């Protein structure tokens, strides 16, 4: 009797990088950040606000709604380097094309409303993901 051949899962071609990324990161902090960065409303909690800041010492702060639906203004999220590393790992895992990778990095950068790490110069042209492509 022939045994079925199990092939690795490959998502349907009709899925966008956004769909693939949010599915792969569902239930993680990176997934919640990506959902906020992409502006996808989410009724369930916990969830992050649609904009965040980077503090002088390189930590991300953002409004947050917890599982009891209590809102926390300016809650601590994570170090900026940890977020950048997780986004790069997600892009690698999904084997995103160069264009999709740049689009995901731009979306995450767009989530950052203000970077206070260096007030004497403008933020990097490529945001928090600069040099990670």
Say if 25 falls within a structural domain: no
Say if 35 falls within a structural domain: yes
- Give me the pLDDT at residue 4, please: 60
Say if 57 falls within a structural domain: yes
Three-class SS of residue 124? coil
∠ CA 18-16-95 to the nearest 5 degrees? 80
Indicate the number of domains in the chain: 1
Q: Which of 18-27, 28-37, 43-52, 104-113 has the lowest mean pLDDT?
A: 43-52
Say if 9 falls within a structural domain: no
User: How do residues 64-117 score in pLDDT, each as one tens digit?
Assistant: 998 898 999 999 999 999 999 999 999 999 999 999 999 999 999 999 999 998
CB-CB neighbours of 56 under 10 Å: 10
Joined together, the tokens standing for residue 81 give 């380097």
State the average pLDDT over residues 6-30: 79
Half-sphere exposure in the Cβ direction for 68 (13 Å, CA):
2
- Give me the pLDDT at residue 42, please: 72
Q: Determine how β-strand 47-54 pairs with β-strand 59-65.
A: antiparallel
Residue 14 pLDDT class (50, 70, 90 cuts): low
d(CA 87, CA 81): 10
Say if 84 falls within a structural domain: yes
Say if 59 falls within a structural domain: yes
Name residues whose C-beta falls within 8 Å of residue 37's C-beta, 6 or more positions apart in sequence: 107, 108, 110, 111
Range of the domain at 84: 30-117
Say if 4 falls within a structural domain: no
Q: Determine how β-strand 112-115 pairs with β-strand 47-54.
A: parallel
Residue 27 pLDDT class (50, 70, 90 cuts): confident
Residue 59 pLDDT class (50, 70, 90 cuts): very high
CB-CB neighbours of 42 under 10 Å: 13
Say if 45 falls within a structural domain: yes
* Percentage of the chain exceeding pLDDT 70: 78
């Amino acid at each position: 009797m022939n045994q079925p051949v199990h092939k690795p899962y490959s998502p349907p071609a009709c899925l966008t990088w956004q769909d693939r990324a949010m599915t792969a990161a569902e239930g993680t902090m990176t997934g919640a950040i990506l959902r906020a960065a992409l502006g996808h409303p989410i009724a369930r909690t916990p969830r992050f606000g649609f904009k965040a800041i980077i503090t002088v010492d390189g930590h991300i702060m953002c409004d947050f709604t917890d599982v009891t639906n209590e809102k926390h203004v300016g809650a601590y999220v994570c170090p900026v380097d940890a977020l950048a590393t997780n986004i790069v790992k997600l892009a690698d895992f999904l084997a995103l094309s160069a264009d999709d990778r740049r689009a995901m990095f731009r979306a995450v950068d767009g989530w950052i409303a203000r970077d206070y790490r260096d007030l004497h110069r403008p933020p990097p042209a490529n945001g928090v993901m600069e040099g990670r492509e």
